[in-house]
Chains A and B, each alone.
Chain A
Amino acid sequence: MNISSIAILFGSIITGNILLSYYLGMCSFLSISRELKSAIGLGVAVTFVMAITTPLNWIVYNIILVPLNITYLRFIVFIMVIAGIVQILEMIIERFSQTLYYSLGIFLPLITVNCAILGVNLFMIIRQYSFINSIFYGIGSGIGWLLAITLLAAIKQKISKNILPKGVEGAAISLIISGIMAIAFMGFSGIIPIN
């Protein structure tokens, strides 16, 4: 572990937040943020999947795809690994936490096609992170996503009793809130440059 790993961890949580600065993983971000509890549940699930798949895909990429010179397969292989991990996660959650399982409902399988996860996996390749750094990057991006969805759910819960103009109800107000949150997160940029 060196200083750059820590920088990547915090950078991916705050300055380079996968959700608020790259706008990846929006669909579940908007639809599961109605309730704080399920938002945190989904955030934890996404963090878990990112933290496992990013180093796993680093291994698959650097040990299998690069030596065989078949890096063009990275999209399909990454998706396959993510799908497998999500399947396993779903089985574990179903067995051990009924409440979480039913509150995540249909969105658990949707993690498979959550573009934030594939995005993190691909960024890790483009930025040529080392194995250690990819672990921190996966965890950091997951926590960043968790942080963003938790904040949005908390804000939405806070304003749920307020009367909104008809035109901005539902998804519209969520987008406005996340836009303002993104601007706020922009304020962090420059503290830790992430590349």
Chain B
Amino acid sequence: MSIFFSSVLAVTSISSFLVILILVIDLIINNYPNFDININNKKTIKVEGGKPLLFALKDKEIFIPSACGGRGSCGYCKVKVLNTSTPYLPTELPYLTDEEKKNNIRLSCQIKVKSNLNIEIPESLFSVHQYETKVLSLTDLTYDIKQVTLEIEKDQNIDFKSGQYIQFEVPPYKLTSETVYRAYSIASAPSDNKKIELEIRLVPNGICTTYVHQYLKVGDKVKINGPYGEFYLRPTDAEIIFIAGGSGMAPIKSILLDMKEKGINRKATYFFGAKTKKDLFLLDLMEDLMKAMPNFKFIPALSDLNADPDWQGERGLITDVVDKYILSGENKEAYLCGSPGMINACIGVLTKKGIPNEKIYYDKFA
């Protein structure tokens, strides 16, 4: 018995001594001074040292796009850093091309501010702001997708292009001990700059999705920042192919509503992939849009061949359906939104049809 107690006591006291030692040394050593960051040779800001560049800039209300929230898995937060001693990290390399490396492009979530830096960012990022919003309504679109309507508070207005996304701030709660950010596409039309809609699908144990589905209530305050992204309708006269699955509906819905409001009547086909009938949503809206825009066609397809025997529409994988409907890729451009697997498969089909890669625009959920 006594050997049991002395063992536990010894191991606990040695480990707690080590922990305290590490904490004390961490406090002394990782105590960086503030550093100056010079942006585009125009503006100099003072930031807290030792933090990743992405978060240091966020503290100063400069929002670099990041879909993964700084985990180094989306590769969006690229920034040109002119003078850093940090060599390229293994976590950055998969996202950088040789061209970008030559131009000193870095992933801002991976490099820490440990000296004064000169950086260059697109001017448009200065127009990214943080917005305080209030939850106006929460609607179930399907059993696992919720539509969240947020109203911008105070005198702020959000100006965005249809198809762009915002970042949703999740405060600490049961699943996270720190504030995290997750990107969601705006589903509403840009004409209403006081309100935005998001479509959020529940991911088991997803930090943000669980928060939205189980904790968020009407009237709650939510902070967002944005808008970001290059996923918007290009002003050409090419025929449009939209492909989406699940909550990938959101940016495409925004683009369609925008087209309707602006009276853009380009030929457009929208392929929407779902597993079964209960994964389909907003069918009424699509009907209305088809009536309002005679050149627009909505084609939902079910991938589960055995479900819903009464289903009259298309069946099969979305790639097969696209393959069947699109005969040639001439004078067409494509907009894809969904899981990386779906997007990669669809890019394969579309390039085979002759649509050049630079005419295929997509939003991957990382």
Contact = CB atoms under 8 A, between A and B. Distances in A.
Contact of B7 (A73, A80, A87, A92): A73
Nearest to A96: B29
Contacts of A87: 22
Interface stretch (A7-15, A61-69, A126-134, A163-171): A61-69
Nearest to A83: B18
A60 B6 contact: no
B292 interface: no
Contact of A98 (B3, B11, B30, B85): B85
Contacts of A84: 18-19, 21-22
Given A84-B22, A98-B114, A70 B6 contact: yes
B26 A91 contact: yes
A73 B10 contact: yes
B363 to A, nearest CB: 33
A65 B10 contact: yes
B279 to A, nearest CB: 42
Given A84-B22, A102-B87, A69 B11 contact: no
Contacts of B90: 105-106
A88 B22 contact: yes
A76 B26 CA distance: 24
B14 interface: yes
Contacts of B29: 91-92, 95
A88 B10 contact: no
Contact of B14 (A60, A98, A99): A60
A182 interface: no
A83 B19 CA distance: 11
Contacts of B18: 80-81, 83-84
Interface in A98-120: 98-99, 102, 105-106
Nearest to B86: A98
A77 interface: yes
Given A70-B6, A87-B22, A95 B14 contact: no
Contacts of A65: 10
Nearest to B115: A98
B86 A88 contact: no
A102 B26 CA distance: 19
How many interface residues does chain A have, given as a range?
Answer: 20 to 34
Contacts of B15: 80
Nearest to A67: B6
A81 B10 CA distance: 13
Contacts of B45: none
Contacts of A64: 10, 14
Interface string A71-82: 001001100110
A102 B86 contact: yes
A190 to B, nearest CB: 40
Given A77-B11, A80-B14, A95-B30, A88 B21 contact: yes
B11 A73 contact: yes
Given A88-B22, A91-B30, A81 B14 contact: yes
A137 to B, nearest CB: 22
B170 to A, nearest CB: 29
Given A84-B18, A91-B30, A95-B29, A70 B114 contact: no
Contacts of A73: 7, 10-11
Contacts of B3: 68-70
A92 B85 CA distance: 17
Nearest to B24: A88
B218 interface: no
A69 B2 CA distance: 10
Nearest to B112: A94
From B14, B29, B85, residue with most partner A Cβ within 10 Å: B14
Interface string B16-37: 0011011001100110000000
A76 B11 contact: yes
Contacts of A91: 22, 25-26, 29-30
B8 to A, nearest CB: 10
B89 interface: yes
A72 B114 CA distance: 44
Contacts of B19: 84
A105 B91 CA distance: 11
A77 B14 contact: yes
Interface in B67-105: 85-87, 89-90
A84 B6 CA distance: 21
Contacts of A68: 3, 6-7, 10
Interface in A34-86: 60, 64-65, 68-70, 73, 76-77, 80-81, 83-84
- 4 tightest A-B contacts by CB? A84-B18, A68-B6, A95-B29, A70-B7
Given A70-B7, A77-B11, A84-B21, 6 more contacts: A64-B10, A64-B14, A69-B3, A73-B7, A88-B22, A91-B22
30 contacts: A68-B6, A68-B7, A70-B3, A70-B7, A70-B10, A73-B7, A73-B10, A73-B11, A76-B11, A80-B11, A80-B14, A81-B14, A84-B19, A84-B21, A84-B22, A87-B22, A88-B21, A88-B22, A91-B22, A91-B25, A91-B26, A92-B25, A92-B29, A95-B29, A98-B85, A98-B86, A99-B85, A102-B86, A102-B87, A105-B90
